[in-house]
Structure 1
Amino acid sequence: MGRLTSALAERDKEVRTLARWLRALRERSGLTYSQMAHKTAGFARPVSLATLSRADEGRTVPTWPVTEAYTRACGGSVRTAERLWLRADAGRPGRRGSGAKAMPVAPGAAGAGRALPYVTERCELLVAMRRLRLRAGSPSLRELETRAVRGTVSHLPRSTLHGVLAGERDCTERVLVEFVRACGVGPAEEAEWVAALRRTAGTPPPPPDVHRRLAEAHAEIRRLRRALDGHPAREAGPSGVPRRTDRPTGRPVP
């Protein structure tokens, strides 16, 4: 019970921190909520006066689009807003699994802004995934599921992704790859995500030339077997037809 109470207190603290930061931002800008709403009319997602006024009350966590619009309208740092919002949203009331069974986000994990090559903990990877989704425009789970459709089947079911992003279930390599691809990540960065996932699981990445080395080993084994069986080795001639490399030099014995 004490642990749950502590977690709830930490969650409320992060929500209040975000709210105070937003209020201070508005006060420094000198704008009214009405003026802010007017400025957001030019954004991709306009926000109403009432929604903006609720965003800094500290009772609930505003959605990311609202937080971003509030910040941009007041000329604040979107990067700072993202960091504070991620920490507040990690234990958002109403999020499935936000109670005792949910995977806790380590204090400071979101604020550290840890670069992907240095991610070593599962909570750090989770924060990185949430940040990636934000930077992709906060697509819904349904939209991400649709982006991963090939043929008639989606390789990124939204129920599975919801559990992963909520910290309720482990993220498999296949789910991670489909997720980052749906968020617009290219092949080069995709490999960094997979390496990060393997580090969180304690699995060392395979050598970059492992497949080539395995092929060479298999070829050497086949050569040795032929030698042991008394079959002369063969190599391809100019025309691609195998030829003997150990032709007898004398006449055949009658």
Structure 2
Amino acid sequence: MGRLNSALAERDKEVRTLAQWLRGLRERSGLTYSQMAHKTAGFTQPVSLATLSRADEGRTVPTWPVTEAYTRACGGSVRTAERLWLRADANRPGRRTGKRLPGPPPAPGAGRALRYVTERSELLLAMRRLRLRAGSPSLRELETRAVRAAVSHLPRSTLHGVLAGERDCTERVLVEFVRACGAGPAEEAEWIAALHRTRTAPPPDIRRQLADAHAEIHRLRHALDHRPSPALPDAPRCAVED
């Protein structure tokens, strides 16, 4: 019972910390929920007034898109929001806990969220989340776990650059990273597929331009389909000779 109460307290603490940080952002920005919702209308994923107001109540963990939109609308640090959200999400109800066996801790499956990763930033978020769920091992520990034949296949300097978003993640680094975090062969395939999608998908700004272009084409087609038919010119009159 004592362990359960301790786990619940830790979970509530992380959720409250995130909620308090979000409320502080809104108070400093001076924005109302309505104004925030209006600002998110220009984001990739707009968020409603009701959803924003629930995000900082501290009862549940809001989704990451909602947390990010809330933070951006108030002009806060997305990196700080990500760190707080990862900790709160890792402790939310439904997470299984138990005794760990020697070696790398078991990691959860890639899940549905990983299947929808299409951008580099989303992949980095998933990697940081996986590391957190694996017990937040240090870069040195991850480097040690990837040692084979006295050589590490996951140098901590390389991994640091990848997780910081300063260098691209290669397939080899990604595979070594997820293995060091306890992922199995089935999950490796999911991670590799996600990495490939980030390389083939157009950047967000290009996608927005394409969406605008498609909308303009649709508007022009609609205008052409509904334009009035041009009036036919009167037939020329032939002069009749007497």
Which band: TM-score by shorter chain? 0.3 to 0.5
When the two structures are superposed, what TM-score results if normalisation uses the length of structure 1?
Answer: 0.46
More helix by share: 2
Q: What's the TM-score, normalizing by structure 2?
A: 0.48
Give the number of the structure whose alpha-carbon radius of gyration is greater.
1
Query: Which one has more relative contact order, counting CA pairs under 8 Å at least 6 apart?
Result: 2
